[in-house]
Structure formats: structure tokens, C-alpha cells
């Protein structure tokens, strides 16, 4: 039944956007060895498409195309680059319904949320179309007589972008848009679970008039992804790597980038704390937690992973939270009112089960959810769970659960909870709720994370720098800071002038 409906969902996508080959140098091509891999419906595991499986050969062809296109693209006036980005933005927005259907079909998030992702991803394209016009240098006060000194910004060169599956459109758009705005050309490899949306985006970019070779996409299975990416890492023409994914893979890519000393941006795992102080507005805190935690079924790197609630409001907060969580509807992406779709695959469901079992074995109390549901529709639906009595020794306190699980920790004082919040190698996002202005001013700078939500659960935006510290990586996406990652600074000194 679900399989049929999944195909229905895909059938909403015009044939021109249902692509299953690589986009290299403006042409759509299969792999030279004709290899293909299956893209599956996350709910059922049924195959929904067979996509060309890239190798080092296609990776090199893509790097060739990007290198060939680079001089022309970097010399294209910023105004013209901006115009093409605006056209790409318009094409994405115009095809919202088709792109949302692709996202839901391959990734599983509810259709309305998928349409929200299209708008969110498109917002980066619009933003960087505007920022392209504001790449500026500096004229310096010269150090010596008869000298002129100034600073210019140049595109860093060919960029390799590697993206994860949880936001099939937004993750790749927010890397490609600033790269193109800066005058870089791109080779990209989308996640093996979700290549279809990325391929459709490349087609829309071509329809918008982006010159051939400026944006190249090579799809690959999990098995062949390393060969594709390694070819780019070893290639001295690729000057920058931008990666979003797990910390383990990010570290490996950073090491491998060292041989050619690429500029590297890494947006890696998180383990976000969410703190509810005794002076918080509990209703707002529950609403903020629901928004932050259950976006994409808990499969985002900024999802709160550890919820710390002050002893004096713990029971009241947990009761409100339980009510809100039991009200969430789990099911296939295309059913109305569904808030939580399937998890991405069997591995994800297994990890959630292991985290819950480990927590319960160590004394946590499961107060709602945690079991598989909608099994007739597929094995990957999990009822959102709340646990109390969580402790730092539990796996869900140390690792990203990446699912709809809320572990609640009880705390007694501010210094203790700040220590606990920072007691992790990760440092992506943190959230806290308080109505005390002095506490807000005191606590925020002590949180060791790249982003802090204060009385706010939805923090991601194209106007703001998204990124982490510690083992959550380095580099920023979005905002004017996000453009710097794709630019290099050239200082010029002219003498003999006086
Ligand atoms: P997740 O666990 O969320 O799938 P990963 O870090 O494994 O996160 O994957 C993120 C991206 O990195 C995907 O595009 C994936 O194909 C790619 N990837 C995974 N392993 C490697 C590897 N060894 N070399 C290069 N790319 C990889």
C-alpha cells in the first residue's frame, strides 16, 4: 500500500525533474561502467529509483568540467552571477510541489515540512544572489611612501560539496549558492539515500541558464562514495571541501584534504543541550522544544539531544511535554496531519532502539512512545518518546540519537547545568529558556556552541551563520560569514608611486 503511494508521490514530479544520471559539464550521463544503485522509500525499503553509481572516473570528469568552467565563471560580473542565482531561486520556488514530493519520497519527511524545506533551501539562493553584489575588498593606509596597498577577494576555485540525507535540498543549496555567488565552480556528491532532489536542483539551475560545468553532480552508492570523494580530495585543482555529515567522516575528510591543503568547512554532529530554568515560561519552553526536537522526526544536527529541566519545574514541564508528544501523528509523508514520517533506514531505527534500551537498563523511565508503529506501512516508524531520569552515562547523553527521543535530565543549579551542557566533545547548538535578563546575559556566553537559541527553538536562517565549534566542525553557512568560506584574500602592494 505505502509503496504504491510512494510511487504516487513520485508521479507528481514532472519527467524533466526525475533524473537518474550524473550531471557533468552540462550533460546528463550514466557511469562509464553502467553501474547503478537503488534509492529506496525510507518507510518500506522498496526501490523507488535506480541511479547512476559514480566512480573516480566520473569524479575526475566532473573536476575537469568544473576547472574548465572556472575562468569564465569567475570573470562573469557579479551582477550576472546574481541574476542567474535569482533565476535559479525562482525556478526552485516555482517547482516547490515537485521538489517537495521528491524530498518526501526519498527522505520521508511529511509533505508540508518538505515544502518548508524547499522554501528554506531557496532562501539561501536568494540571500547569496544578493550577497554576490557585496563582495568587497579594502584600501589600506599604505605603510611606506610611494606605495599603494589594497585587498581583493577572489573565489577560492573549484569547490567539492558533500552532503547528508536529512535535508536533501537545503544542505546542498546552502553550499552551492554561496560558492556560485563567490565565483567558484562546484562538484557535488549528494548522500546515497537522497540523490534525486540534488539532481533535480541541478536541472533547474541549467534551465535557469547556469553555464555548463559550473555545477556538476556525481551520485554514488555508499560503497562507491569514498572513491568519488577521494578523487576530489587528491585533486589539486579542487581548492575547497565543504562537508556536512558525521564527525567520523568529517575528520577523515579533513585529514585527507591536508595533502593538497584545501580550505575546509565542516558541519558535523551535535549533541545539543536544551535547558529549562526555573524562571522559564514553561508553555513557551515546551513549544520551543517540540519545534526544535521533532523537526524532520528528530533527524537534524541541531535537534536538542539532552533536555535539562530544573528540579522545581521538572514534573510540571514533563507532564506538558508528555501531552504534546502523545499528540504527534506518525505516518507516511503524504497523509494529512502527519508530523513524523519514517526514520531514514533500518540502521537509524536500530540505533534509536539501542539508545532507549540502554537508558531504561540504566534506570531511565520511559513515559511515552519508543515502540515501532504503523508497521503495516513499513518497519521504520517510531512513536516519539520521552524518558525521565536520564544520566550522563547513558548512550543517549553522549551520542546523537538522531530520532524522536527526548531524554529529560533533572538539575539543581545554574553552574551545574552549564557544566553538564558543555560536557561533550560537540559544540553545534544549545538552547535555553529563562525570563531573567541577567541570567540570559550570564549563561549564553558560557555555552560552548556555535549557536544559541534563547527562548527560541527555531534558529536556522539564511541571514545567520550556521556552524559549530569543537568537534562539531568549523566554517559557517548562511549570512555574510557564509560567503567568506568561498573567498580568498589577496593583498596587493604597488610601489614606485611617489
Ligand atoms: P550519515 O551517518 O548521516 O549518513 P555520513 O557522514 O556517513 O553521515 O555521510 C554524509 C556524507 O558523507 C554522505 O554524502 C556520504 O555518502 C558521505 N560519506 C560517507 N562516508 C564517506 C567516506 N568514507 N568518504 C567520503 N564520503 C563519505
Q: What is the pLDDT of residue 1?
A: 41
Helix, strand or coil for residue 110?
coil
To the query of whether residue 301 is one of the catalytic residues in this protein, the response is yes
Look over the chain and give the mean of its residue pLDDT values, rounded to a whole number.
97
Helix, strand or coil for residue 451?
strand
List, for residues 149-180, the tens digit of each pLDDT value.
999 999 999 999 999 999 999 999 999 999 99
List, for residues 344-381, the tens digit of each pLDDT value.
999 999 999 999 999 999 999 999 999 999 999 999 99
Look up residue 390 and give its three cell numbers: 536520564
List, for residues 442-480, the tens digit of each pLDDT value.
999 999 999 999 999 999 999 999 999 999 999 999 999
Cβ < 6 A, ligand 1 pocket:
162-164, 189, 191-192, 225-226, 229, 245-246, 249, 252
To the query of whether residue 184 is one of the catalytic residues in this protein, the response is no
The model's confidence at residue 74, banded by pLDDT at 50, 70 and 90, is very high
The interaxial angle of helices 170-182 and 111-131, nearest 10 deg, is 10
* Calpha distance 243→154 (Å, rounded): 21
Query: With 0-12 CB in 10 A as exposed, 13-18 as middle and 19+ as buried, what is 439?
Result: middle
Residue 307 has pLDDT above 70, yes or no: yes
For ligand 1, atom 15, which residue shows the shortest CA distance? 191
Could you tell which of 187, 195, 225 is best to mutate to test the pocket of ligand 1, judged by most ligand atoms within 8 Å of the CB? 225
Residue 7 has pLDDT above 80, yes or no: no
The model's confidence at residue 2, banded by pLDDT at 50, 70 and 90, is very low
The model's confidence at residue 216, banded by pLDDT at 50, 70 and 90, is very high
The model's confidence at residue 5, banded by pLDDT at 50, 70 and 90, is low
For ligand 1, atom 22, which residue shows the shortest CA distance? 226
Amino acid at each position: 500500500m505505502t509503496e504504491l503511494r510512494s510511487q504516487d508521490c513520485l508521479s507528481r514530479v514532472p519527467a524533466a525533474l526525475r533524473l537518474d544520471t550524473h550531471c557533468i559539464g552540462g550533460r546528463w550521463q550514466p557511469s562509464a561502467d553502467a553501474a547503478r544503485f537503488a534509492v529506496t522509500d525510507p518507510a518500506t525499503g522498496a526501490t523507488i529509483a535506480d541511479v547512476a553509481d559514480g566512480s573516480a572516473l566520473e569524479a575526475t570528469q566532473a573536476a575537469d568540467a568544473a576547472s574548465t568552467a572556472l575562468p569564465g565563471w569567475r570573470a562573469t560580473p557579479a551582477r550576472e552571477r546574481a541574476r542567474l542565482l535569482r533565476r535559479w531561486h525562482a525556478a526552485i520556488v516555482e517547482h516547490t510541489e515537485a521538489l517537495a514530493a521528491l524530498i518526501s519520497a526519498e527522505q520521508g519527511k511529511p509533505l508540508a515540512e518538505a515544502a518548508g524545506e524547499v522554501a528554506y533551501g531557496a532562501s539561501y539562493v536568494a540571500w547569496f544572489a544578493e550577497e554576490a553584489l557585496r563582495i568587497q575588498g579594502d584600501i589600506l593606509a599604505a605603510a611606506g611612501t610611494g606605495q599603494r596597498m589594497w585587498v581583493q577577494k577572489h573565489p577560492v576555485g573549484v569547490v567539492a560539496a558533500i552532503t547528508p540525507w536529512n535535508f536533501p535540498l537545503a544542505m546542498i543549496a546552502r553550499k552551492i549558492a554561496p560558492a556560485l555567488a563567490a565565483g567558484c565552480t562546484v562538484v557535488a556528491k549528494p548522500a546515497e539515500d537522497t540523490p534525486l532532489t540534488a539532481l533535480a536542483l541541478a536541472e533547474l539551475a541549467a534551465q535557469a541558464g547556469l553555464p555548463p560545468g559550473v555545477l556538476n553532480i556525481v551520485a554514488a552508492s555508499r560503497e562507491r562514495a569514498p572513491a568519488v570523494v577521494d578523487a576530489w580530495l587528491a585533486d589539486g585543482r579542487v581548492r575547497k571541501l565543504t562537508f556536512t555529515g558525521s564527525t567520523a567522516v568529517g575528520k577523515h575528510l579533513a585529514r585527507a584534504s591536508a595533502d593538497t591543503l584545501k580550505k575546509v568547512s565542516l558541519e558535523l554532529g551535535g549533541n545539543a543541550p536544551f535547558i529549562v530554568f526555573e524562571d522559564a515560561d514553561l508553555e513557551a519552553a515546551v513549544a520551543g522544544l517540540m519545534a526544535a526536537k521533532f523537526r524532520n522526526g528528530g533527524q537534524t544536527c541541531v535537534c536538542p539531544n539532552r533536555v535539562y529541566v530544573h528540579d522545581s519545574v521538572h514534573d510540571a514541564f514533563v507532564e506538558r511535554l508528555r501531552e504534546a508528544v502523545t499528540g504527534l501523528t506518525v505516518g507516511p509523508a503524504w497523509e494529512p496531519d502527519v508530523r513524523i514520517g519514517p526514520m531514514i533506514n533500518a540502521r537509524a531505527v536500530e540505533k534509536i532502539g539501542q539508545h532507549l534500551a540502554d537508558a531504561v537498563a540504566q534506570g531511565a523511565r520511559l513515559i511515552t512512545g519508543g515502540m515501532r508503529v504503523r508497521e503495516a506501512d513499513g518497519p521504520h516508524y517510531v512513536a516519539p518518546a520521552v524518558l525521565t531520569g536520564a544520566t550522563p552515562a547513558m548512550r543517549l547523553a553522549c551520542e546523537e540519537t538522531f530520532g524522536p527521543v527526548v531524554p529529560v535530565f533533572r538539575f539543581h543549579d545554574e553552574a551545574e547545568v552549564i557544566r553538564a551542557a558543555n560536557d561533550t566533545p560537540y559544540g553545534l547548538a544549545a538552547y535555553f529558556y529563562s525570563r531573567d535578563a541577567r541570567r540570559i546575559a550570564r549563561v549564553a556566553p558560557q555555552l560552548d556552541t556555535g549557536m544559541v537559541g534563547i527562548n527560541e527553538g527555531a534558529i536556522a536562517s539564511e541571514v545567520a551563520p550556521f556552524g559549530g565549534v569543537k568537534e562539531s566542525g568549523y566554517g559557517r553557512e548562511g549570512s555574510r560569514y557564509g560567503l567568506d568560506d568561498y573567498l580568498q584574500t589577496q593583498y596587493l602592494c604597488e610601489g614606485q608611486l611617489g
